[in-house]
Amino acid sequence: QAPPPVVHYQMTNLTASADPVGNRETVLILTPMTRFYQGYWDNLLKLSYPHELISLGFITPKTREGNAATAALQEQINKVQSGSKGKRFASVTILRQDTEIPLQSQDEAERHKMENQKMRRAAMSKARNSLLFTTLGPTTSWVLWLDADIVETPASLIQDLAAHDKPVIVPNCFQRYYNDEKKAMDVRPYDFNSWIDSQTAQILAAKMDNDDILLEGYRELPTYRTLMAYMADSNQDLHAEVQLDGVGGTALLVKADVHRDGAMFPPFSFYHLIETEGFAKMASRLGWKSWGLPNYFVYHFNE
């Protein structure tokens, strides 16, 4: 019997362009998931990018919560993958995490305590890296990072972000909430990890021990960075671009070549940055710039 044929991939023919649908580019949507949110799933199904060009990858922790999320996810996947052909995704992968889970409690207040951040974000980095290195394929053009608690995006999210033709691009992540003063629903910034660096932060970093990290959005550690969260103006151009030094990962579109070059999520202090902010730094060291869209919104679940 003949040995199996060798498969050749011409990587120069693999594009990641401003017209990804026209060029039939494949997108890998990656989601680290501790809880299953129906809003996330419903929004995912509504994405107008051709589903046959989308592969999905999930990583769930091996905890009781992670087990429940996996079961809920599996049920929804079964439904869509056995439903109408036009809605089916090219492939779906679920990884069960093998790394330690540092924190039991995952409620918002506990997650955001400063002393918990380094350990928590190191664990999230490992989950992201493990998901990325296991699922990135030779035909992947784009990677869309999408957190499990992003419950609302425009249906044209992928096309809209890709149209900017940037190596790394991040929309502004806000949260809907009930404003007691206005007695009405309102929006507020959620993700503070997309920023332009400041000299104050540079000086702070220079004085730190090797293993220490800078964190954004904590009163105890003022960085005076320019935060994309506060640059939002819904009356201005939806597609206004700003160059960034740090990015958040709640929704983040990356050309797969950036990851192929080796840009990952450092689970350790990298230039005193960690996880998605460290990723932007690593991409930058590899010659890839990060961009943000301050007036283009996605929405995080509100606990």
Q: 287: phi > 0 → left, psi -120 to 50 → alpha, else beta; which? A: left
> Residue 278's Cα: distance from chain center in Å?
13
Only segment of 21-29, 72-80, 147-155, 240-248 that touches Mn ion (CB under 5 A): 147-155
127: contact with ligand GDP by CB under 6 A: yes
Q: How far is the CB of 183 from ligand GDP (least distance, A)?
A: 27
**Which of 177, 288, 291 shows the shortest CA–CA distance to 239?**
291
Which residue has 């046959």 as its token pair? 52
Does 275 bind Mn ion (CB under 5 A)? Our answer is no
Nearest residue to 252 (alpha-carbon basis) of 144, 119, 121 = 144
Interface region with ligand GDP, contact rule CB under 6 A, candidates 72-80, 144-152, 261-269, 270-278: 144-152
Backbone angles phi, psi at 273, to 5 degrees: -125, 155
Structure tokens at 29: 């949507």
Tokens of 135: 């699922």
DSSP structural state of residue 3: P
- For ligand GDP, the binding residues in 27-86 under the rule CB under 6 A are 32-35, 59-61
**By rule CB under 6 A, what count of residues binds ligand GDP?**
16
Taking CB within 5 to 8 Å according to partner kind, which of ligand GDP, Mn ion, none is near residue 252? none
Residue of 235, 231, 132 lying closest to 173 (CA atoms): 231
Say if residues 64 and 195 touch (Cβ distance below 8 Å): no
Work out which of 29, 53, 123, 280 binds ligand GDP, going by CB under 6 A: 123
Q: Which amino acid is at 169?
A: I
Binding mask 145-174 toward ligand GDP (x if CB under 6 A, else -) reads --xxx-------------------------
Q: 86: which DSSP letter?
A: G
**C-beta closer to ligand GDP: residue 128 or 259:** 128
In the set 32, 58, 118, 149, which binds Mn ion (CB under 5 A)?
A: 149
DSSP H helices, 163-274, are 199-206, 256-260
Site string for Mn ion, 21-50 (x = CB under 5 A): ------------------------------
Cα distance between residue 29 and residue 163, in whole Å: 17
For residue 88, how far is the Cα from the chain centroid?
A: 22
Q: How far is the CB of 227 from ligand GDP (least distance, A)?
A: 14
**Which pair of tokens denotes residue 150?**
């992003």
Shortest reach from residue 130's CB to ligand GDP, in Å: 9
Residue 176 touches ligand GDP, criterion: CB under 6 A: no
Q: Which stretch binds ligand GDP (CB under 6 A): 4-12, 26-34, 164-172, 239-247?
A: 26-34
176 binds, among ligand GDP, Mn ion, none (CB under 5 to 8 A by kind): none
Which part of the chain contacts Mn ion (CB under 5 A), choosing from 121-129, 144-152, 219-227, 258-266? 144-152
The binding track of 86-105 with respect to ligand GDP, each residue x by CB under 6 A or -, is -----------x---x----
* 151 exposure class (CB count in 10 Å sphere: 0-12, 13-18, 19+): buried
What residues make contact with ligand GDP under the rule CB under 6 A?
A: 32-35, 59-61, 97, 101, 111, 123-124, 127, 147-149
